[in-house]
Chains A and B, each alone.
Chain A
């Protein structure tokens, strides 16, 4: 079977690549004018964290050689014909993505509001004097939904502060997308006020972004930041992805949630 790592515009990077998933060295195929990084495997990749890391290591090693459209971990094709057909289906979109994302990397930023504004209690529903368990249950569900909605609005406001075009961080990015971080309830109430933002940034502007973040963090001590990357532009690939919230207008930063 053929394991798919990425579609790229790099021409001959595989000499520099170490063995990846299943300890198989990736190779470069030319399909329909696109360079496709694959590995011939006799078995499916194991569902282990080490395999996920090996997948990422191959993608990271490709990045210096050109634009990389990363494939999701675990994408395999039984035959070369199936791979060719899949690549052919997405050829137009892949070419457009390679053009649009050339020279860009993705930086991830998880922002947690350590001192969120208290959520105002919702108006209590007038209940009958001897309300039954059903009415009490529905009242509790209503209060829970109101709290969730308030948190979503707080997250939207937080994202707007960081992603608005006049923000020092978004000003460096060509595109941004954000989503609420899905945390377990066991992580506590404060962790509900966290968002994850992906910034699409030109490779040479990464240091400028880091400097801007350092300054932004000093100005916002109530916010906690975790910055990761540079990544291949996972969050900005449109081909083959169900995500459609990114904008292709590089002159006008966008800010929209993933889901």
Chain B
């Protein structure tokens, strides 16, 4: 079973955002037991906003050159897109 089998050939960013929106923000949510405890809903949405823009835009918005969408305030708390 494929997670993002679009009828319309999916825009890559949109299909990815659909995946992240579900896997990071929905389902059985047990408050207080999250490894990514700093990535609560608001912060995840910050990450999605970056993900939804183009890579070029994301790079322009970033203060450092690595291709990383920051979910939190410092590099150690980032959701890395290097394997994207």
Q: Could you tell me which A residues sit within 8 Å of B by CB distance?
A: 4, 6-7, 44-50, 52-53, 55-57, 60-61, 63-64, 69-77, 82, 86, 90, 94, 108, 110, 182-184, 186-187, 196, 210, 213-214, 224-232, 234-235, 237, 239-243
Measured CB to CB, the nearest residue on chain A to B9 is A226
**Bound CA–CA A186/B84 (angstroms):** 22
Contact in complex: A228, B27 (CB < 8 Å): no
Complex interface: chain A residues within 8 A of B5 (CB): 228-230
Q: Taking A52-B19, A182-B49, A225-B8 as contacts, is the C-beta distance between A72 and B3 under 8 angstroms?
A: no
Question: Number of contacting residues on B, CB 8 A?
Answer: 46
Contact in complex: B33, A86 (CB < 8 Å): yes
Most buried by B among A108, A210, A213: A108
Q: Is B34 an interface residue (CB 8 A)?
A: yes
Q: Could you tell me which B residues sit within 8 Å of A by CB distance?
A: 1-8, 10-11, 14-15, 18-30, 33-36, 39, 45, 48-50, 52-53, 57, 71, 77-84
Complex interface: chain B residues within 8 A of A228 (CB): 3-6, 10, 15, 18-19
**Bound CA–CA A89/B1 (angstroms):** 31
A55 CB contact (under 8 Å) in B10, B23, B30, B34? B23
Complex interface: chain A residues within 8 A of B22 (CB): 70, 108, 231, 234-235
5 residue pairs from A and B, CB less than 8 Å apart: A70-B26, A70-B28, A72-B30, A187-B53, A241-B26
Contact in complex: B34, A72 (CB < 8 Å): yes
Q: Main secondary structure on chain B at its contact with chain A?
A: loop
Measured CB to CB, the nearest residue on chain B to A183 is B52
**Bound CA–CA A241/B71 (angstroms):** 21
B35 CB contact (under 8 Å) in A45, A226, A227? A45
**Bound CA–CA A63/B8 (angstroms):** 23
Contact in complex: A226, B14 (CB < 8 Å): yes
Contact in complex: B8, A71 (CB < 8 Å): no
Q: Taking A49-B79, A63-B1, A182-B45 as contacts, is the C-beta distance between A226 and B28 under 8 angstroms?
A: no
Measured CB to CB, the nearest residue on chain A to B1 is A60
**Bound CA–CA A226/B82 (angstroms):** 25
Contact in complex: B6, A227 (CB < 8 Å): yes
A184 CB contact (under 8 Å) in B4, B8, B49, B84? B49
Contact in complex: B35, A108 (CB < 8 Å): no
Measured CB to CB, the nearest residue on chain B to A76 is B35
**Bound CA–CA A70/B23 (angstroms):** 8
Contact in complex: A240, B7 (CB < 8 Å): no
Contact in complex: B83, A70 (CB < 8 Å): no
Complex interface: chain B residues within 8 A of A60 (CB): 1-3
Q: How far is the CB of B72 from chain A (nearest CB, A)?
A: 9
Contact in complex: A49, B81 (CB < 8 Å): yes
Contact in complex: A70, B27 (CB < 8 Å): yes
Complex interface: chain A residues within 8 A of B83 (CB): 48-50
Contact in complex: A76, B33 (CB < 8 Å): yes
